[in-house]
A and B are shown apart, each in its own frame.
Chain A
Amino acid sequence: MCIAVPLEVIEIYDEEALVHYKGVKMKVNILLLENVDLGDYLLVHAGCAIEKLDKEEGKKTQRLFDEIFSSEDEGEI
């Protein structure tokens, strides 16, 4: 199952990192990524981190969403 919430790295061990999101902490394997640092946000699937979230790209997407959702029209989704 994909965990689509951003999990922040708070501790790094050998092959694992301790990540947290809103008061829940868990250990995930980080061998599928290069250079994991404290403060990185990870995407996790089946107990393994599969990507680091790129905050700049995230902001770009947010700006696109702001544009798309800016005209709040009744009857549109």
Chain B
Amino acid sequence: MKSLEINREIRIMEICGTHTMSILRSGIKQLLPSNIKLISGPGCPVCVTSQGYIDAAIELSERENIIITTFGDMINTPGTNSSLKIQRALGNDIRVVYSPLEAVNIARKNPHKEIVFLGIGFETTAPTIALAIDKVYREKTENFSVFTALKTMPEVIKMLIKDKDVQVDGIICPGHVSTIIGEKAFSFISNNLHIPSVIAGFEDKDVRAAIYLLVEMIRENKCDIKNIYSSCVKYEGNKKAKDLMDKVFQHSNSNWRGIGLIENSGLKVTKLYSAYDAEVKFGIKIENSPYLKDCICGNILRGQKTPVDCSFFGKECTPYNPIGVCMVSTEGACGIHYKYLNEV
């Protein structure tokens, strides 16, 4: 392929768990010249979910007559004193689903139970959850609600690029988030922040092409946004999905684990649909819990440090016995690093 030559060290950040996974599975990092650094940003929705939310979900699972439904990686995520996996082993009804619509089906089949879906994700997942909420609203299914912790990408990207400690020279934009919110939603990276970015798919060819285009733009001092996933990503994104999201959700401030509060970076359920907002329905209180001293998940999520910089990595903190969230999720930097690179 064409040259990746550049005369200084550059840092390219990807902000999508599926990109992190694709890069590590294909072994691309070892094939890059040593002055091109690939860093992972906070692209794993489970990893950036606050400890308080996880504790609240665990507490909810202990209540009578409740079935908790969740995507798979939440099961292992450690709360302060327990995890959903442990709660399940102790007899609480906690089920892994592959779609929020599956959770709606469970609600239909169990009319005497309350089904709560743990709504974690970014803008790719948000419309699917909006769809589930709108469905139960139309069909008047009363025993279903969503406990949301949805987050959105643009504000966190802004924050990371502006952060002098992070030092990003180029961004690989999240491919499927872009499918929903459109190329337009990331144009601020070029226009306001003057950093080059590429919207790319997930095959290793897509990632390699993205790296090449970023290196070329950095070398030529350009800061355009290029879309090499245009088979799926339109300039305006998916209007129908966005309209539904706007109906079911509204923007809110959100607490990102390891980073802190970011304004306008989350989604919560609108008043129209508040009967399906589990936080309202069950009076859930999310506490701000401190997380473990010496756990550097926050720095890892910001791309400032790598998993091997952590004193717990691979020793006290492994995928089987995770301390920090980055180790837990299938898209977490530490979990992926441990699995694919196994450097301790």
Indicate yes or no for A touching B, C-beta below 8 A: yes
Q: Which residues of A contact B (CB under 8 A)?
A: 1-2, 4, 29, 31-34, 43, 45-48, 50-51, 53-55, 57-58, 60-61, 64-65, 68-73, 76-77
Return A51 CB to nearest CB of chain B, in Å: 5
- Is A64 a contact partner of B28 (Cβ separation < 8 A)? no
Do B124 and A57 touch (CB < 8 A)? no
Residues A34 and B99 in contact in the complex (CB < 8 Å), given A50-B179, A65-B205: no
* Binary flags per residue of B33-48, CB closer than 8 Å to A gives 1, else 0: 0000000000000000
- Enumerate chain B interface residues (CB-CB to A < 8 A): 1-4, 18, 28, 31-32, 71, 98-102, 121, 124-125, 127-128, 131, 175-176, 179-180, 201-203, 205, 208-209, 211-213, 228-234, 238, 240-241, 244
Whether the Cβ atoms of B18 and A47 lie closer than 8 Å is no
Do A48 and B128 form a contact, CB below 8 Å, given A4-B201, A33-B240, A72-B1? Answer: yes
Q: Are B131 and A31 within 8 A (Cβ)?
A: yes
Query: Which residues does chain A contribute within 8 Å of B99, judged by CB atoms?
Result: 29, 46-48
Give the docked Cα–Cα distance between A33 and B71 (Å). Answer: 23
Known A-B contacts: A29-B128, A55-B231. Give 9 more (CB < 8 A).
A4-B18, A47-B102, A48-B99, A50-B176, A50-B179, A61-B231, A68-B209, A77-B208, A77-B211
Contact in complex: B1, A71 (CB < 8 Å): yes
- Chain A residues positioned under 8 Å from B128 (CB to CB): 29, 32, 45-48, 50
**Complex contact B31–A43 (CB within 8 A):** no
In the assembled complex, the CB of B26 is this many whole angstroms from the nearest CB of chain A, namely: 9
A-B contacts, 9 of them at CB < 8 A, read A2-B176, A4-B18, A50-B124, A51-B232, A53-B231, A61-B228, A65-B209, A69-B208, A70-B2
Measured between beta carbons, the chain B residues less than 8 angstroms from A58 are: 230-231
Q: Which residue of B lies closest to A55 (CB)?
A: B231
Could you tell me the distance in whole angstroms from the C-beta of B332 to the nearest C-beta in chain A? 14
Contact across chains for A33 and B238 when beta carbons are under 8 A apart: yes
- With contacts A1-B98, A48-B127, A50-B124 taken as known, whether A73 is within 8 angstroms of B230 at the C-beta atoms is no
